[in-house]
Amino acid sequence: MAIPSLVNVMIVSLLFFLICGVIGVNYFKGTFFSCEFGPFSPVYLQDNPQAYVTTKFDCINLGGEWVNADQNFDNVLEAMSTLF
């Protein structure tokens, strides 16, 4: 007798995650990228790399790699898994 009630709670929870995921995609799509430098980065970048790197173009020119975070809001499925 409890199974139909659990299914209803799961449906409401999934709808809540879907709505929050869509809102998260609207606000945060593409904002979790960062520049990562290897062990042989230039000396002036070792202290504060964010002072020199503001765009993907800057990162690639300085020898870095433009990567996305593991948990991001670039699409709805990723957003829902990030919220979970």
Instruction: Provide the pLDDT for residue 11.
Output: 96
pLDDT band at 46, cuts 50/70/90?
low
Strand partners, 34: 67
The widest CA-to-CA distance across the chain, in whole angstroms, is 66
pLDDT band at 38, cuts 50/70/90?
confident
Distances (CA, A) of 48 to 42, 54, 63: 11, 12, 15
